[in-house]
Amino acid sequence: MSGEETKDRSDRAEEIFLGALECPDAAQREIFLRDCCGTDAQLRRIVEGMLEDLPKATTFFETTSQNLSLPQGFHIEDDLEEGALIGPYRIVRLLGEGGSSRVYEAEQDVPVRRRVAVKILKPGMDTAAVIARFEAERQTLAVLEHPNISRVFDAGATVTGRPYFVMELVHGTRITDYCFANHLPLEERLRLACQVCRALQHAHNKGIVHRDIKPSNILISVIDSVAVPKLIDFGIAKAIDTPAASGQTIQGQPIGTPAYMSPEQIGGGQDIDTRSDVYSLGVVLYELIAGKPPFDNDALIQGGFETMRQRLLYEIPARPSSQAGTKDLHRRKELDWIVMKAIEKDREKRYSTAHALAADLENYLRNEPVRAHPPSRFYRLKKLFLRNRIASASVAFAAVALLTGFTASTFLYLRTRAAEQQQTLLRKAAEERAHVTKAAILILEEKPAEADAEIRLMGGDLTQPSVEATNVFRTLAIWSARNGDWKTSADRWLAMSRVSRYDENDMTDKVTRDLLPIAPTLVMTCDFARYRQFQQFLIQRLGNTTFPFAAEHLLKLCLLTPASPALLVQLQHAAALAEQSMPGNASTTPTDWMEAWRCVAIGLWYYRSGSPEKAIVWCSRSLLRRDWEEARAMQALLIRAMSRKTTGDIEGALTDLEAARTSIKQHLLQPLDEMKDGYFHDWLNASILLGEAERSVLEAR
């Protein structure tokens, strides 16, 4: 290794070491080290060695500082004791400390008497990287002058050269604790949030992105019985026009508190802008309304970095009103619109500024139309009525009086007819619910045959969505499959798809998971007419999805058999989305099971589209990941076998086919298990592809 490479590795190790010191606990430090060092084991050993030596070094310097005989009046500042002086500031007590600095409460006597906070570097932390970050925070706070942002009063260096700065001492409570402890009405919480928005907008106008907006950095001080929010801790702030790798952070590594981090932060993006702060403030607003953030911070950390990244990038949280009810249904929806727009995954769809978020909150408080709602005449008319109740009520009363005579007889006739139709629907719905409830009880009593007979009494179908019916049909579908009755199993799966409650805004994998067994069941029973209908149902529901896992499911379900040119055109968007979501290149091992499945789906798409060479590349990439899902590997081998046969590689095709056939045949000899070396429907897919591969490859033999 050259001298320059050694220096680069040393500089990199120092940066990672300093970043690790900022991690609040061992779990976050482990995630941080793993993502910074990657596969560079030597770099990891260097950093871990530095962390292990830190306590020894600290003890050495403390002991040395006690034994050194220094000139009178000269001392080494370590843990400053009460009464110690830094310039004109007398230390009162230690308030807290981070990896590289400490914050003290101090008293200033001249020219004014006041309590302040002094932030000073720890001894031995005066490296170029740490000083650069410290100076950046000092300069950031120096340009901010807003009543809701903690101010900087003074700056300097101690006699030993350690830089410090003096700032406003904020005695306060984190915003969420203050609101909940004082049972603050919702409107008052929103007014506090508006003040924070204005403070954040001031920072943005000065070219500063905070990057760590969270409740503990928004403190509430009570001044003359008035709650005043203060935005603090710009320690990881960044100038908007400063490159990401400015030396103040580890390039490409997310810095902040996971539950409040924007998707672009956790994704490692280098172009973090003010909309990242808008997202974090939206999370705080969510917590003020719902009583908890959309994602639990401890659960995110315990799940590991990759799971955390996937959740923050793709999982859509529940609306805040579903976590804490509001009496007024319409008003509750308006707040949901505002919060969900602020925490949009796509920053282009968020509020463009903190000021825009504050403006919509103020519209809500004034009962005016909020911009988060798609503008409609009815919505604006309703808001106009709410703001001008008396005049609007007078006009409405006059209009109603004119129309009453004309509509009375028609209304009575329509009401009678509607009542009859409603009674018929209610009677039918009640009968359906009775059959479903009885079937559910029989399933609990482990009597699936009798439960299935009960469903047959109602025709095996339902017209009303129902969670109970969804569970009944799912259970009976699996039971029928285990008994080899694939025709009935297909009927039950399709019935389940009709009664499942689908929320278009909840596009987590659970929404499409129950659809996966339907396609192979229909193909196994040669029910191709209903399979084509099911393909169109899927395309209508998922054809324009923006979620890679939904695109993967769509491709796997629709391409189980050879596809027509029209179907391939309908699936182009899903294929492009799935491929664009994959990081790295053909030699990059998928980081998790979801990416490995996505490779299989893309390979199947290219094979059906007539591009066998690309299909081979994607299937080979999927096979780089080895885990418990053997069914996935078998599908990748079969698609690759058919693709190799198409390219003329008969020997390679036979090798892949034989490897897959042996495993699939052995698995199918065993009783049907819902999940053994892969989900049972994945093994059904594999067996269908095996039949196609045997016909294709063995013909060319």
Q: Are residues 188 and 313 in the same domain?
A: yes
Q: Are residues 113 and 187 in the same domain?
A: no
pLDDT digit string, tens, across residues 459-517: 655 666 777 888 888 888 888 888 888 888 888 888 887 777 655 554 444 556 778 88
**Does the residue 366 lie in any domain?**
yes
Q: Are residues 467 and 600 in the same domain?
A: no
Size of the chain, expressed as the number of residues it contains? 701
Find out whether 97 and 120 touch, Cβ atoms under 8 Å: no
Nearest to 509 by CA among 572, 570, 554, 540: 554
**Does the residue 474 lie in any domain?**
yes
Per-residue confidence band for 321, with pLDDT thresholds at 50, 70 and 90: confident
Q: What is the pLDDT of residue 248?
A: 40
φ, ψ at 393 (rounded to 5°): -65, -35
Find out whether 172 and 221 touch, Cβ atoms under 8 Å: yes
Across 157-182, average pLDDT: 87
- What is the amino acid identity at position 583? P
Give the count of domains, the chain.
5
**Does the residue 222 lie in any domain?**
no
Q: Could you tell me which residues come within 8 angstroms of residue 691 by beta carbon, excluding any fewer than 6 positions away?
A: none
Residue at which a domain ends, from 349, 383, 417: 383
Q: What is the pLDDT of residue 388?
A: 55
Q: Could you tell me which residues come within 8 angstroms of residue 150 by beta carbon, excluding any fewer than 6 positions away?
A: 117, 141, 167, 168, 170, 230, 231, 232
**Domain of 435, in residue numbers:** 404-501
Q: How many CB atoms within 10 Å of residue 597?
A: 23
Q: What is the pLDDT of residue 67?
A: 46
- Decide if pLDDT at 598 tops 50: yes
Q: Are residues 497 and 520 in the same domain?
A: no
Burial 24-50 (b: 16+ CB within 10 A, else e): eeeebbebbbebbbeeeeebbebbeeb
What CATH number should be reported for the domain holding residue 139?
3.30.200.20
pLDDT digit string, tens, across residues 191-240: 999 999 999 999 888 888 888 899 988 999 998 889 999 998 776 666 55
Q: What is the pLDDT of residue 451?
A: 86
Q: Are residues 465 and 545 in the same domain?
A: no
Find out whether 327 and 273 touch, Cβ atoms under 8 Å: no
Find out whether 211 and 180 touch, Cβ atoms under 8 Å: no
Q: Could you tell me which residues come within 8 angstroms of residue 340 by beta carbon, excluding any fewer than 6 positions away?
A: 319, 372, 505
Q: Are residues 191 and 43 in the same domain?
A: no
Q: Are residues 57 and 97 in the same domain?
A: no
Q: Are residues 598 and 489 in the same domain?
A: no
Across 53-71, average pLDDT: 50
Q: Are residues 309 and 424 in the same domain?
A: no
The span from the first CA to the last CA of the chain, in angstroms, equals 53
Q: Are residues 651 and 537 in the same domain?
A: yes
Q: 93 in the Ramachandran plot: left (φ > 0), alpha (ψ -120 to 50) or beta?
A: beta
What CATH number should be reported for the domain holding residue 379?
1.10.510.10
Q: Are residues 674 and 525 in the same domain?
A: yes
**Does the residue 163 lie in any domain?**
yes
Nearest to 630 by CA among 664, 591, 672: 664
